[in-house]
């Protein structure tokens, strides 16, 4: 499923992927998230990639952005003036984290 350089994923994040994505996309979503360094950034990518509707393309895009500079996805998810409701997104996904993470 993921390579040796993968960052471990929290169980609730894996469960959120299973609930949010069709079976045929889950392996790629998990692999993209595993390439993101750290739980906080992984959750931010998941929140951004599922805002509105779950999108494999958006997950992969935000995972690539996080690889360049993780502060971008953290800002967009947690601090942007146009910010989505992060707490509501975490609740919708069934992910429990302190706010902001």
> What angle do helix axes 11-20 and 86-93 make, rounded to 10 degrees?
80
Answer yes or no: is 101 within a domain: no
Show the beta-strand stretches assigned E in the chain. none
- Furthest-apart CA atoms within the chain: distance in Å: 37
Give the pLDDT confidence of 48-94 residue by residue, as tens digits: 999 888 999 999 999 999 999 999 999 999 888 777 788 888 999 99
Which tops the pLDDT comparison, 3 or 12? 12
**pLDDT value at 33 more than 70:** yes
Please state, in angstroms and rounded to a whole number, the distance separating the CA atoms of residues 18 and 76. 24
Q: Tokens at residue 56, please?
A: 């494999």
99 belongs to a structural domain: no
CB atoms near residue 98 (< 10 Å): 7
Q: Tell me, yes or no, whether 46 lies in a domain.
A: yes
Helix/strand/coil for 85:
coil
When divided into structural domains, the chain yields a total of 1
Share of the chain above pLDDT 90, in %: 73
């Amino acid at each position: 499923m993921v390579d040796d350089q993968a960052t471990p994923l929290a169980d609730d994040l894996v469960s959120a992927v299973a609930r949010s994505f069709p079976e045929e996309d889950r392996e790629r979503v998990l692999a993209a998230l595993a390439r993101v360094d750290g739980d906080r950034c992984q959750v931010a990518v998941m929140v951004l990639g599922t805002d509105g509707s779950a999108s494999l393309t958006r997950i992969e895009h935000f995972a690539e952005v996080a690889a360049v500079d993780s502060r971008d996805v953290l800002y967009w998810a947690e601090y942007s003036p146009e910010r989505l409701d992060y707490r509501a997104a975490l609740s919708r996904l069934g992910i429990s984290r302190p706010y902001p993470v």
